[in-house]
Structure 1
């Protein structure tokens, strides 16, 4: 007998896309639980299935409709089941979703996620699909209730929307113009998180370093970083993602001078060719980008810098691609998220001449990946012998022969697998380890930890997992609080790194 048969309706939220979508899904879960729904157990068919969609990833629409098709017979067998579709693809396609999948009950957009419980109830009572898409933000998401998965690391949204007009990106038309939260609201949220045990926050925005544009303070982001440094108990601060055109020296100074701002930067390059950057409508050029990297490294010598790169943008020649390889060699990225360009309907680039043949894009992609793998491995080998503090992540980590390793992130955000030693640290605790081996995408510490610091975050994780089944797997608050499902990780989509 499942939870719904005992009275409370169960739900499942399936998330696709970038960190913004993960952030929104935590709000959706919080809203549903505040409305009386209970998260479905693993393997159980939920009474309400919510798809939080992406319109940026390749074949996003095919993936959605494929998943909706799989649920059609399930819903036919369960007449009380409801299906909702939200997120960027819903904002873009709107009524098209119900036309193609008439068994969907609710379609809602990026600007009105707070309407979901009401729309579900209206669809149930009226027995017809509810499609509600707002063209501007209804309520800032951070004011909505939240279900957080992690007791030790959290997303904190400082802005939503984007004022840029990159020709490959559809995000501004789906998320709207940039809207900034007031600094006091952001800092209150962070302090509340720290009181609950959170050690690390990641400041989140489409372009975090344009934060303050709405209230007329172009130095607001650097000031916010410094203010985070004054919050007692907050050990790690990260942010994603800045835009090179708006990256200023006051932010570099704030990073270098604020001890809890981590020595890590994700700076999207997209292309190393000035001609392609111009076609992408990226308002910086390769030398400016390299100048930022140089100044960051001068101020923070141990900083690990990662990036996003698009290969095969319309009109890209071999000469353009070689310019990208040159910037990659000079930048010495710790990690690069590389994407093969593909047409996104609704973007200016989709209509451009000079679409690059798929086989050429694939060849360039493989050459770029090979170069970056070589650089990443060299940069990681330079870490061997160093002693680092690892914020232990949830999960069992990595199996290596007979050794079950734990995993976590170093201050520079490198992934570290390490042997637990005699007393295994809990997720949220901090282990001091010595790096003994390097691979392109992770580091290994073979010996036992040199020390383990038990933390409030580890206590919170332990308390959460000791809670009764059905209610102890998350933190759910009615005040503006946000988190992430897993320990800190790097960006995985250029959607949030424009």
Structure 2
């Protein structure tokens, strides 16, 4: 029987790639992918379990999807990080879930759904995390002109605040030839922008080849003719080598953008976080990136309210944000996560104060981002058009400074007939908060 199945995928881009591989497996096994929950025989909720807000969103999505059982829906499946993290509790506490699969079991999604749909079985499977496949065909869940290219799985960094190593297992790189095969397939399907991701992208290849191989991988990706942009996400500061900087600076297809989660600048807190490197590494690295890569856009993420963070240490973080004037920045309020070293620290800060501190950082960043946007007036940028925005009554797209889903937009007027995925030259005429406003430059 041809069953209709829907997918709700939450959380990060790595989780999205897992969802896209599940969709492809389902399609290969005779299921029809459906975007309307009311028409689905089965719905998969691919959960995130990273921090408290993400867990809450995942639980809400599960219960919202379960409401469809009042109609056509027969089977609700739960996969992803939250299921893996709380596997012992999930079966009892979420009886609405007919299929529960851990990270290592998502390759069983098609067979599991058929057992539940055709035999009425409840299927629960938690294979070894290392059974999660590193490769496979995908059905893109986003617009077809960009894709996330996941080059590794898992993490060994063991940051004190983070549960990801326990959820996703040890770091494993995908062999380079397999990464390049997937990139070529994506390019042949119309993808023009590759966003290279992993839990620790800069560590790519060390486990397989005995050395950091991201620079070599990037050079090979740039040889793929149909790819126009290659973007780097989730890079660790202590693995930003001179070779990597040179590749970013010299390869025209690599956008001058680097996502560099720093978390904090105070040395005591960085040690408490179990982060490699301290301010004596971070500050010179930022200086070097700006010197060696003209026009580089640096994105970072920070954590406010880690246990024991004093007012003075928080002010040091605020001063750091002012001094560095990051082009793109996000700040999270620390989330107490069970099973992590930080979650066991005695000097937990009141959640309201954590949120207040994170909000303060973001208020600072709003002013910095607006100033940076205004400084672009009169310049031209290459923009990847994402279509016509009916509400704004103009086109919207992204410049090299903007990663999909997390960064700002460029809103611009154009000659008409522009298609999503088309590159256009835009002259910047102003700014609207974080966003940039401009008009297309018609060349020739």
Query: Do both proteins adopt the same fold according to a TM-score greater than 0.5, normalized to the shorter chain?
Result: yes
The match for 1:451 is: 442
The yes-or-no answer on 1:372 pairing with 2:372 is: no
Separation (CA, whole Å) in 2 of partners of 1:297 and 1:398: 37
| Structure 1, unpaired ranges of 5+ | 1-6, 454-498
Distance 1:72 1:13, change over 3 A: closer
Query: 428-437 vs 327-336, which deviates more?
Result: 327-336
Q: Which of 399, 405, 418 lines up with 1:410 in the alignment?
A: 399
Query: 67-76 vs 172-181, which deviates more?
Result: 67-76
* Cα drift, residue 343 of structure 1: 1.0
The yes-or-no answer on 1:355 pairing with 2:344 is: no
Separation (CA, whole Å) in 1 of partners of 2:348 and 2:130: 35
Separation (CA, whole Å) in 1 of partners of 2:442 and 2:292: 29
Q: What CA RMSD, in Å, does the superposition of the two structures yield over aligned residues?
A: 2.0
Give CA-to-partner distance per residue, 1:414-458, whole Å, 9 cap, x none. Answer: 52111132x23100111111000123321001x3x21379xxxxx
The match for 2:405 is: none
TM-score for both structures, normalised by structure 2: 0.94
Separation (CA, whole Å) in 2 of partners of 1:406 and 1:142: 35
Q: Which of 19, 27, 44 lines up with 2:21 in the alignment?
A: 27
The match for 1:49 is: 43
Count of equivalent residues: 439
The match for 1:91 is: 84
The match for 2:52 is: 58
The match for 1:175 is: 168
The yes-or-no answer on 1:233 pairing with 2:222 is: no
Q: Which of 187, 191, 212 lines up with 2:180 in the alignment?
A: 187
TM-score for both structures, normalised by structure 1: 0.84
Asked if structure 2 preserves the Cα contact closer than 8 Å seen for 1:52 and 1:87, the reply is yes
Distance 1:43 1:245, change over 3 A: same
Separation (CA, whole Å) in 2 of partners of 1:65 and 1:262: 37
Query: 132-141 vs 294-303, which deviates more?
Result: 132-141
The match for 1:399 is: 391
SS in 2 for 1:150: coil
Distance 1:73 1:398, change over 3 A: closer
Asked if structure 2 preserves the Cα contact closer than 8 Å seen for 1:159 and 1:205, the reply is yes
Separation (CA, whole Å) in 2 of partners of 1:371 and 1:71: 38
Q: Which of 213, 236, 242 lines up with 2:235 in the alignment?
A: 242
Separation (CA, whole Å) in 2 of partners of 1:252 and 1:304: 13
Give CA-to-partner distance per residue, 1:324-372, whole Å, 9 cap, x none. Answer: 1122122211121111112112211111111112332233223211211
SS in 2 for 1:435: strand
Q: Which of 135, 138, 148 lines up with 2:131 in the alignment?
A: 138
The match for 2:414 is: 420
The 5 A counterparts of 1:154-165 are 154-165=147-158
Distance 1:213 1:348, change over 3 A: same
* Cα drift, residue 139 of structure 1: 4.7
- Post-superposition, which runs of at least 4 consecutive aligned residues in structure 1 deviate over 3 A? 59-74, 144-149
Asked if structure 1 preserves the Cα contact closer than 8 Å seen for 2:38 and 2:71, the reply is no
Structure with the greater relative contact order (CA < 8 A, sep ≥ 6): 1 or 2? 1
Give CA-to-partner distance per residue, 1:248-295, whole Å, 9 cap, x none. Answer: 111101100111000111111111111111001011112311211111
| Structure 2, unpaired ranges of 5+ | 403-407
Distance 1:172 1:366, change over 3 A: same
Asked if structure 2 preserves the Cα contact closer than 8 Å seen for 1:84 and 1:105, the reply is yes
Separation (CA, whole Å) in 2 of partners of 1:81 and 1:417: 43
SS in 1 for 2:103: coil
Separation (CA, whole Å) in 2 of partners of 1:382 and 1:398: 27
Distance 1:221 1:31, change over 3 A: same
Separation (CA, whole Å) in 1 of partners of 2:287 and 2:250: 17
Q: Which of 111, 115, 125 lines up with 2:108 in the alignment?
A: 115
Distance 1:86 1:41, change over 3 A: closer
Q: Which of 372, 379, 383 lines up with 2:376 in the alignment?
A: 383
Separation (CA, whole Å) in 2 of partners of 1:101 and 1:43: 20
Asked if structure 2 preserves the Cα contact closer than 8 Å seen for 1:29 and 1:146, the reply is yes
Separation (CA, whole Å) in 1 of partners of 2:376 and 2:135: 38
Separation (CA, whole Å) in 1 of partners of 2:234 and 2:95: 37
Separation (CA, whole Å) in 1 of partners of 2:235 and 2:256: 15
